[in-house]
Amino acid sequence: MVKEEQELANRPDNTAFTQQRLPAWQPMLSAGIVIPGFVIIGLAFIGIGVALFVTSHSIQVLELDYTGVENTEPCYRCSDPSSKNCVCTLEFSIDSLFEGPVFFYYGLTNYFQNYRKYGASRDDNQLSGDLDYFKSPGNDCAPYQYNSNNKPIVPCGAIANSMFNDTFKLYQIIRGSKKLVPFDGKGIAWWTDYNIKYRNPSVTPLKNAFNDTVKPLFWSKPAYELDPTDPANNGFINQDFLVWMRRAALPDFRKLYRRITEGDYAKGLPAGNYSLEIAYNYPVMSFDGRKKVVLSNVSWMGGKNEFLGIAYLVIGSLCVVMSIVMLIVYAKFKFPEED
Amino acid sequence: MSSSSADKPSVIKARAGLFWLQKTETVQDEEVDGEYGLVINGHSLAFALEKDLQLELLRTASAHIGVGISGQEGMQAVLSSDFSFAQFRYLQRLLLVHGRWSYLRMCKFLQYFFYKNFTFTFVHFWYAFFCGFSAQTVYDEWFITLYNLMYTALPVLGLSIFDQDVNDRWSFQYPQLYTPGQLNQYFSKKAFVRCMMKSCYSSLILFFIPWAAMHDTVRDDGKDIADYQSFALLAQTCLLIVMSIQLSLDTHYWTAVNQFFVWGSLAGYFAITFTMYSNGMFLIFTSAFPFIGTARNSLNQPNVWLTIFLTSLLCILPVVAFRFILIQLRPTINDKVRHKMRKEALPAPTKPVRVKRISTRRSGYAFSHSQGYGDLVTSRKFLLKIPVRTRPALFTETDSPLAQNQPQHYRTITEEPEGSQSP
């Protein structure tokens, strides 16, 4: 009797969980699911691909490389490293209305903003306005942390130090005279960057917060003079600064500079001759980089990107082809019912 | 699941007998020439048989699994074995059901685990060409931490605990399902290389499709989307979705727990990501969460989701097509049984037949300190003399007409005239 009780006590539970009898769905790759599935996916992909391709085709893009490599180019004399405060002018023409709103980007190639140590070289605490980090910037910023006199650099780090500083002015040439195309520089950076991630120290005037600090080595003006006319665009929340600090993923990238949405150009850039005046400050020749200016309009899928549309079309067609192949295989080689 | 030798066994039959040895032992019906050594009690049996078989047995006993029967003779076998149970008939269940499931689960787990980690790593290899070989990670550091820890841990755990290909009753019906385990088919060097190739392909898709889609593109309001943080978020979302779908394809037995683990992990990923990239976390731990705003600003873009959709399907559809075609062209025994399972009802469970035993007669011994009574045991002189007719079979045969071409033999202890046994 005792032994029986012992045996029963040792017996494992007879529940569905412990005996692995849980109710379950046991799907199988059957022809009824796979082949129609492929057909539907293929057709859906082709549909999406057509939409993407058509949209992408309707986006207009104009790229102008102004590095000045060849001596025939307008900015050749500016690309000389010894020239300072050089201004060069690029002439171009537009054939048909460039529909608005037009976005003005600057682009760089062979520029590795995604380099690991470069990307780590910043101090987010400093950039969110914490004055403690004005006195002692984080160690990740080295060697752009303190200058040779041991004064803290604000904003510290390699990303801030290498901020893009070319400026552009666009003129339309109407009957021989230049008409300035107005640029809109508000809200070109992400809302979260402008409002939350980057904050100026709450010291007025802003200049006082930067006492006993120095500007980054490559900058011509300190942070509190990035836009003296507009306090909402000065200091760390300067839109150009924010756009630059959002480092790119790939070595060829473009960053938003301005928008053309106002005045006579609200509908877009009309056809005609244009002249772009560039204050050429940023040196890229030393690492074989290139600078360019890109004019583009956007759509629901963003900027012009042929790849997505073509990829969807190709994959959709492949899916349909595969479904036909699988149908043939299934019809011919269906394995016999018997074991 | 012995895979010690690569030779195909010449006889693949489900055998359950009193003992079943590696070397040929002439038994009643025919020569046993199988791959398995199931040793009931290693030491006593080693003494029971001839000296030159001892080494073979001891090697077998220590190599793969040792199974012990606990009983009234003592617990010695139990203490030195991997599995032990009280009645010999449970051996069938141990091998054909649990052993088989265990092998299946282990192999699926390994394949999936290697796949997900190789893919994850190869993506970084491709990115190296585009980041100046600076070892910049494609993904957010928090994602890298939580990938194996949280996002893919529970689903694969669910797969490894609950997955079954066929029911236990079907496993009894078709002992041939045991064959892939014997032949080491599910995970071998070849399977590993195939897994690597699949990872390579997946990683190419998982990197280059986002690369091409994000190249020189912007948001629909003209702002930046090709920045490092958005690219990282896109790549990691694609990776996780592909891995979840791949696990879903691998899982053949979807219990409620599996469903919860898989969909819960995916939902957890989005929840954790949005939390980590929120304002609150940034304001509290500023330098730990630099990705603030990335999820909100990039995941509301249609082209990001279209890229994710394209990447996932491009990784998964070849797998689906390949598996489907393989099932049609070269169905394995597993596929056939599963196909049958969908059509037919469950076979009747094998009822355990009570064997009338008289306590004074024993059929097994466990002595290890001396030569033992091996000769006495194998001569079967002491067995009960009951006419064959009325003696019930120890194991019920479930020969269905469908299984005619693979007969299942179950040795029954029958009465034999003395002197016919040869060691």
ipTM value, please give it.
Answer: 0.93
Q: Is the pLDDT of residue B38 over 60?
A: no
Residue type, A311: A
The verdict on a CB contact (< 8 Å) between A124 and B216 is no
How many structural domains comprise chain B? 2
Is B193 an 8 Å CB contact of chain A?
no
Considering the domain boundaries, does residue A6 fall inside one? no
Q: Which residue has the higher pLDDT, B119 or B57?
A: B119
> Which of A8-12, A320-324, B161-165, B384-388 has the lowest average pLDDT?
B384-388
Q: Are residues A54 and A162 in the same domain?
A: no
Q: Are residues B288 and B146 in the same domain?
A: yes
Q: What is the C-alpha separation between B119 and B245, in angstroms, rounded?
A: 14
* pTM (predicted TM-score): 0.81
What range does the domain containing B38 cover? 1-62
Considering the domain boundaries, does residue B378 fall inside one? no
Average the pLDDT over B128-157 and give the result. Answer: 94
Residue closest to B408 by CA, chosen among B35, B18, B14: B14
Query: Per residue in A161-174, is it b (16+ CB within 10 Å) or e — as a string?
Result: bbbbebebebbbee
- Tell me, letter by letter, the H, E, C secondary structure of chain A: CHHHHHHHHHCCCCCCCCCCCCCEECCCCCHHHHHHHHHHHHHHHHHHHHHHHHHHHHCCEEEEECCCCCCCCCCCHHHCCCCCCEEEEEEEEECCCEECCEEEEEEEECCCCCCHHHHHCCCHHHHCCCCHHHHCCCHHHCCCCECCCCCEECCCCHHHHCCCCCEEEEEEEECCEEEECCCECCCCCCHHHHHHHCCCCCCCCHHHHCCCCECCCCCCCCHHHCCCCCHHHCHHHCHHHHHHHCCECCCCEEEEEEEECCHHHCCEECCEEEEEEEEECCCCHHHCCEEEEEEECCECCECCCHHHHHHHHHHHHHHHHHHHHHHHHHHHHCCCCCC
Considering the domain boundaries, does residue B81 fall inside one? no
- CA atoms within a 13 Å half-sphere pointing along the CA-CB vector of B149: 7
User: A235: left (phi > 0), else alpha (psi -120 to 50), else beta?
Assistant: left
Considering the domain boundaries, does residue A221 fall inside one? yes
Q: Nearest CA to CA, how far is B331 from chain A (Å)?
A: 7
Mutate to test the interface with B, among A293, A308, A324, A328 (most CBs of B within 10 A): A308
Residue closest to B341 by CA, chosen among B168, B163, B102, B167: B167
Considering the domain boundaries, does residue B370 fall inside one? no
End position of a domain, from candidates B343, B365, B386? B343
Q: Are residues A327 and A254 in the same domain?
A: no
Q: Are residues B127 and B18 in the same domain?
A: no
Is A188 an 8 Å CB contact of chain B?
yes
The verdict on a CB contact (< 8 Å) between A196 and B306 is no
Considering the domain boundaries, does residue B377 fall inside one? no
Q: In 10 A of CB B247, how many CB atoms?
A: 22
Average the pLDDT over B220-229 and give the result. Answer: 93
Q: Are residues A156 and A217 in the same domain?
A: yes
List the single residue in B136, B209, B218 with the smallest CB-CB distance to A303.
B218
pLDDT digits (tens, 9 = 90+) for A77-122: 888 888 888 999 999 999 999 988 999 999 999 999 999 999 999 9
Average the pLDDT over A307-329 and give the result. Answer: 95
Q: What percent of chain B is predicted at pLDDT more than 90?
A: 46
- The answer to whether B16 and B410 are in contact (CB under 8 A) is yes
Residue closest to B344 by CA, chosen among B167, B177, B98: B167
End position of a domain, from candidates B293, B308, B343? B343
Q: Are residues B27 and B144 in the same domain?
A: no
Considering the domain boundaries, does residue A21 fall inside one? no
- The answer to whether B278 and B292 are in contact (CB under 8 A) is yes
What is the DSSP pairing of strand B254-255 with strand A24-25? antiparallel
At residue A13 the predicted structure's pLDDT band, cuts being 50, 70 and 90, is confident
Q: Are residues A152 and A287 in the same domain?
A: yes
Q: Are residues B19 and B140 in the same domain?
A: no
Is B162 an 8 Å CB contact of chain A?
yes
Q: Are residues A270 and A155 in the same domain?
A: yes
At residue B404 the predicted structure's pLDDT band, cuts being 50, 70 and 90, is very low
Considering the domain boundaries, does residue B261 fall inside one? yes
Is A60 an 8 Å CB contact of chain B?
no
Q: Are residues B186 and B126 in the same domain?
A: yes
- The answer to whether A315 and A48 are in contact (CB under 8 A) is no
Question: Residue A241 contacts by C-beta under 8 Å, 6 or more apart in sequence?
Answer: A160, A163, A198, A223, A226
Considering the domain boundaries, does residue A10 fall inside one? no
Q: Are residues B160 and B255 in the same domain?
A: yes
Mutate to test the interface with A, among B303, B304, B337 (most CBs of A within 10 A): B303
- The answer to whether A257 and A266 are in contact (CB under 8 A) is no
Q: Are residues A176 and A275 in the same domain?
A: yes
Phi and psi at B324, nearest 5°, equal: -65, -45
Q: What is the C-alpha separation between B301 and B282, in angstroms, rounded?
A: 23
What range does the domain containing A307 cover? 34-59+299-334
Q: Is the pLDDT of residue B14 over 50?
A: no
Residue closest to A254 by CA, chosen among A308, A299, A226, A291: A291
The verdict on a CB contact (< 8 Å) between B221 and A298 is yes
Q: Nearest CA to CA, how far is B212 from chain A (Å)?
A: 6
Phi and psi at B40, nearest 5°, equal: -75, -50
Considering the domain boundaries, does residue A14 fall inside one? no
Residues of A in contact with B254 (CB under 8 A): 24-27
Is B257 an 8 Å CB contact of chain A?
yes
Query: Per residue in B28-50, is it b (16+ CB within 10 Å) or e — as a string?
Result: eeeebebbbbbbbbbbbbbbbbe
Q: Are residues B104 and B149 in the same domain?
A: yes
Q: Are residues A256 and A328 in the same domain?
A: no
Q: Nearest CA to CA, how far is B321 from chain A (Å)?
A: 8
Considering the domain boundaries, does residue B354 fall inside one? no
Instruction: For tokens 């930046």, name the residue.
Output: B224
Q: Are residues B132 and B16 in the same domain?
A: no
Q: Are residues A85 and A55 in the same domain?
A: no
How many structural domains comprise chain A? 2
DSSP β-bridge partners for residue A104: A258, A295
Chain A residue closest in CA terms to B402:
A339
Question: Residue B212 contacts by C-beta under 8 Å, 6 or more apart in sequence?
Answer: A307, A311
Chain B residue closest in CA terms to A39:
B317
Considering the domain boundaries, does residue B15 fall inside one? yes
At residue A4 the predicted structure's pLDDT band, cuts being 50, 70 and 90, is low
pLDDT digits (tens, 9 = 90+) for A161-218: 999 999 999 999 999 899 999 999 998 999 999 999 999 999 888 899 999 999 999 9
Considering the domain boundaries, does residue A20 fall inside one? no
Q: Are residues B51 and B151 in the same domain?
A: no
Q: Are residues B20 and B151 in the same domain?
A: no
pLDDT at position B52, please?
52
At residue B13 the predicted structure's pLDDT band, cuts being 50, 70 and 90, is very low
Q: Are residues A288 and A303 in the same domain?
A: no
Q: Are residues A69 and A116 in the same domain?
A: yes
Is B404 an 8 Å CB contact of chain A?
no
Q: Are residues A54 and A169 in the same domain?
A: no
Considering the domain boundaries, does residue A7 fall inside one? no
| Full DSSP string of B86-126 | SSTTHHHHIIIIIIHHHHHHHHHHHHHHHHHHHHHHHHHHH
Q: Are residues B155 and B213 in the same domain?
A: yes
pLDDT at position A25, please?
87
Is B357 an 8 Å CB contact of chain A?
no
At residue B147 the predicted structure's pLDDT band, cuts being 50, 70 and 90, is very high
Residue closest to B311 by CA, chosen among B402, B408, B244, B373: B244
Residue closest to B330 by CA, chosen among A335, A240, A121, A307: A335
Q: Are residues B304 and B165 in the same domain?
A: yes
DSSP β-bridge partners for residue A64: A293
Considering the domain boundaries, does residue A2 fall inside one? no
Q: Are residues A44 and A163 in the same domain?
A: no
Considering the domain boundaries, does residue B388 fall inside one? no
